[in-house]
Amino acid sequence: HPVPDAAGEAATRRLQEVVGGADGSTLVVVVLGGGASALMVAPAAGIDLRDKQEITRRLLFAGADIEALNTVRKHCSQVKGGGLLRAAGRAGGVWTLLLSDVVGDDPAIIGSGPTVADPTTFATAARVLARFLAPADVPPTVREHLERGRRGLVVETVKPGDPVLARTRTVRIGGNRDAVRAAAREAERRGYRTTVLPEALRGDAAEAGRAVVARLAAASGDRPRAIVAGGETTVRVAPEGRGGRCQQLALAAAVALAGVPAVLLAAGTDGVDGPTDAAGACIDGETTARARARDFTPDAALSRTDSHPLLDATGDLVRTGPTGTNVADLVVALRAAC
């Protein structure tokens, strides 16, 4: 995760066999959570696993958000975009329980919507590639498959109104706002006057970090203050950069909070932030001073999207290991009374 592998491909073949064998007396229950897009991999005809891996990596490094990434994934897959539902065509019903890692909890985006309708098209997927990648960066098999789909030579994903949807039921059982509310309740219990940001964190990770700090700076009063937010930002990774969106957000916040008696935690609820061993970071007003004392330049690390080595050196990384769940990212900022 987030790049598919051969184990996921083998497991998905078995999954297709199991649901394909369900008859009218069988209820198929699909429990879907964060990471499902990477775990379930069944490349469309003409596309192999290496091409799926390559297009996923390139879109991630280009800063594509989850909606854009999953639009392409759905149109290069046998199981995404309602494909798993089609595979279970003889089953008596298909119920999907969603633990959402997606801002807005859209079932069509969570896990790339294997059992629900998909409003996007092959043309939409082609526009995503044109937006984020140069033509030479797209594997030829992917480009050709999307072009064939755009011309109507490949069956589209399941669309709203398709009769196959009549046998389905979809229920959300948890998501990012649940984690945000739980963190806010705990902050209040500990005596912090707490503000939950109504808008989800999206877009550039560094900008999101600075925005949270600005909200914290604007809060005043005779009680300690807390700002709690959730969501999923993006980061366009430089070739030499190492880190993840939460570490990038935290480092940007550390620069903005330099010298201020405050702390900020930014972490992925799955315990994994980018291709690193950290869930995120917990920074404070002295983080940048500690970094400079160890010969790091915070602004340069930010511009290189190279947050991990700096935050490791300052002792600010949070390492939880995989948590076994995923409801996107959580940000908590705390400041003393003033």
Whichever domain contains 316, its CATH number is 3.40.1480.10
Mean pLDDT of 84-101: 97
Confidence at 222, pLDDT banded by 50, 70, 90: confident
Mean pLDDT of 184-195: 97
Least confident segment among 34-48, 70-84, 232-246, 295-309: 232-246
Q: Please tell me whether residues 222 and 132 are part of one structural domain.
A: no
Q: What is the pTM of this model?
A: 0.86
Is there a domain that residue 225 lies in? yes
Of 107, 139, 174, the one marking the end of a domain is: 174
Q: Please tell me whether residues 78 and 114 are part of one structural domain.
A: yes
Is there a domain that residue 40 lies in? yes
Is there a domain that residue 218 lies in? yes
The enclosing domain of 161 has a CATH number of 3.40.50.10180
Q: Please tell me whether residues 166 and 181 are part of one structural domain.
A: no
pLDDT at residue 237, rounded to an integer: 81
Mean pLDDT of 79-84: 98
Q: Please tell me whether residues 307 and 231 are part of one structural domain.
A: yes
Q: Please tell me whether residues 134 and 182 are part of one structural domain.
A: no
Report the half-sphere exposure of 124 (CA within 13 A, side-chain side): 16
Task: Give tens-digit pLDDT for 97-133.
Answer: 999 999 899 999 999 999 999 999 999 999 999 999 9
Q: Please tell me whether residues 155 and 277 are part of one structural domain.
A: no
Is there a domain that residue 68 lies in? yes
Q: Please tell me whether residues 196 and 141 are part of one structural domain.
A: no
Least confident segment among 39-48, 141-150, 228-237: 228-237
Of 140, 174, 208, the one marking the end of a domain is: 174
For the cut 80, the answer to whether the pLDDT of residue 220 exceeds it is no
Q: What is the mean pLDDT of the chain?
A: 96
pLDDT at residue 221, rounded to an integer: 72
Is there a domain that residue 1 lies in? no
The domain of 124 spans 6-174
Least confident segment among 95-104, 149-158, 190-199, 214-223: 214-223
Q: Please tell me whether residues 119 and 183 are part of one structural domain.
A: no
| Structural domain total, the chain | 2
Q: Which of 29, 12, 15, 39 is nearest to 101 (CA)?
A: 39
